[in-house]
Amino acid sequence: MLTILYAGAPKMWPAYQPALTTALAEAGLPARLVLPDEVAADAVDYIVYAPTGPVQDFTPFTRARAVLSLWAGVERVVGNPTLSQPLCRMVDDGLERGMIEWVTGHVLRAHLGMDRHIVNPDRIWDQTAPPLARERGVTVLGLGALGAACATTLAGLGFQVTGWSRTPKSLPRIHCESGPDGLLRALRQAEILVTILPNTPETTNLLNAETLALLPRGATILNPGRGTLIDDDALLAALDSGQVGQATLDVFRIEPLPADHPYWAHPRVTVTPHIAAETRPASAARVIAENIRRDRAGEPLLHLVDRTRGY
Q: What residues are annotated to the active site?
A: 226, 274
Rounded Cα distance between 162 and 219, Å, is 15
Q: Are 311 and 287 in contact (CB under 8 A)?
A: no
257, 280, 281, 277: which is closest to 269 by C-alpha? 257
Q: Are 73 and 199 in contact (CB under 8 A)?
A: yes
Q: How far is CA 175 from each of CA 145, 194, 285, rounded to the nearest angstrom?
A: 17, 15, 35
Q: Are 161 and 173 in contact (CB under 8 A)?
A: yes
Cα dihedral 283, 289, 291, 296 in deg (nearest 10)? -170
Rounded Cα distance between 144 and 224, Å, is 14
44, 37, 170, 149: which is closest to 102 by C-alpha? 149
Q: Pairing between strand 219-223 and 192-195?
A: parallel
Sorted by sequence, the CB contacts under 8 Å of residue 142 that are 6+ apart come out as: 164, 165, 195, 196, 197, 198, 225
> What DSSP letter does each residue of 103-163 carry, written as one string?
HHHHHHHHHHTTHHHHS-TT-----PPPPPGGG-EEEEE--SHHHHHHHHHHHHTT-EEEE
78, 145, 130, 106: which is closest to 287 by C-alpha? 145
Packed helices 13-26 and 281-296: angle between N→C axes, nearest 10 degrees: 40
Q: How far apart are the first and last CA of the chain?
A: 31
